[in-house]
A and B are shown apart, each in its own frame.
Chain A
Amino acid sequence: MVKVIFIQETINLTFDLYLVLSVLNLTATLVLVIVVVRALKGERNSRANATDRLRVFENSIINKVEMLRNSIEGFKNSSVNVLSAIEIKLKEIDRIALNLHERLERKLSRIELALVDVTTVKSIDRLEDVDCIFREDGLIIYGSYDKKFVAHIVQALRALESLDFNKVEVTMNDFTVAIGMLGQIRGKSIYCLRKGSSPVKFNSKGILKELGDIIG
């Protein structure tokens, strides 16, 4: 009988132990599940946080890049403006230099002409040194020269009349014809002409005085 009770007790005890173990096992499993779930939840949260942070970080980087881009563009624009200003200034300097160059060239050519005048220009003071003297109407009044040439020179002088010139030189193949304005006689302009190879300068007063003595 005792044996049966013992067995029964053993069975009961065994049963209880099994139950307890099962309960413990279940509890442990539940805890584990909870832990795992929490862990998973935490991980998800941290991921979301990280994503948010990443987005914030990304936005801040985008903002920074935007700012950088704006400042670079600003710098670029200001550089372009500076370059344009430099270009304008350079062009201005170029123009001034060109003007100076032209003025210098003119001055130099004048100096050269003056030097040529001083060295090689022959002064024509006497009537006998001119080839002919003609009036503004193309009539030769002293000396002689190719009538065709004189007639056409008169036509050219009429075109130049308003320029108030003193001397005109016509260079042909190997000689130069110098035509000088002497003055006026009885309201008509008088010109003299000399053919030669070197530059000449006419002494109008001297030539006109001699001419006046001849033609009265």
Chain B
Amino acid sequence: MTSLAKKNYGDIIKRIVNRSFGQIERCVIASENGLPLATYGNPDEINEIIAAIAAPLFAATQDVINNLEKTRVVKIDVEFTNSKHLIIAPLFNDVIAVLSSRNPNLGLIYYLIEEIAEPKPEENRSSSKTSKKSETDHDTSL
């Protein structure tokens, strides 16, 4: 991972957290081997734990799903009994994990993650023109 990419990840996290209206408690971007690349929230040890959990969990889920359907996992939402959610989504070759606050506005968190996460496989097949338009829409939003 280059330092430029790390800087971009920092910007991505800042962008998500700033637009979440306090719905996001922690946000971690982790490499596929479970190392945190950019984080939000203190203390940082918890972020390291989240990174260590999220990357293998997502990889394992993807492997399991591959046995069922030849498709890709878009996101994993783990709901806790304390009404918090841990949402994991792919981000290029890494994963982004978001720990929400209690009773979160999931629609908003999903929207924010979808904005920066990898395009869905179905979107890959669509024309590049449409993708560009979609990206433009996202950039001008809010």
Binding site for B on A (CB under 8 A): 134, 137-140, 147-148, 150-152, 154-155, 158
Contacts and interface: CB of A to CB of B under 8 A. Distances in A.
B21 interface: yes
B105 interface: yes
A151 B16 CA distance: 14
Interface in B19-46: 21
Contact of A147 (B21, B111, B142): B111
B107 to A, nearest CB: 2
Contacts, number: 37
29 contacts: A134-B107, A137-B105, A137-B107, A138-B105, A138-B106, A138-B107, A138-B109, A138-B110, A139-B106, A139-B107, A139-B110, A140-B107, A147-B107, A147-B110, A147-B111, A148-B111, A148-B141, A148-B142, A150-B107, A151-B107, A151-B108, A151-B110, A151-B111, A154-B105, A154-B108, A155-B21, A155-B105, A155-B108, A158-B105
Contacts of A155: 21, 105, 108
B105 A151 contact: yes
A152 B107 CA distance: 9
Contacts of A150: 107
Contacts of A139: 106-107, 110
A154 B106 CA distance: 10
Interface residues of B, number: 13
Interface of B: 21, 103-111, 114, 141-142
A154 B107 CA distance: 8
A158 B105 CA distance: 9
A22 to B, nearest CB: 140
Contacts of B106: 137-139
Contacts of B21: 155
B131 to A, nearest CB: 17
A152 B109 CA distance: 11
Contacts of B107: 134, 137-140, 147, 150-151, 154
Nearest to B107: A138
Contacts of B141: 148
Nearest to A152: B108
Given A137-B103, A137-B106, A138-B107, 16 more contacts: A138-B108, A138-B110, A139-B106, A140-B107, A147-B107, A147-B110, A147-B111, A148-B111, A151-B105, A151-B107, A151-B108, A152-B108, A154-B105, A154-B108, A155-B21, A158-B105
Contacts of A158: 105
A150 B110 CA distance: 11
A150 to B, nearest CB: 6
Given A148-B141, A155-B21, A137 B111 contact: no
B33 to A, nearest CB: 32
B11 to A, nearest CB: 20
Nearest to B22: A155
- The residue in B104, B107, B114, B141 that gathers the most chain A C-beta atoms within 10 A of its C-beta is B107
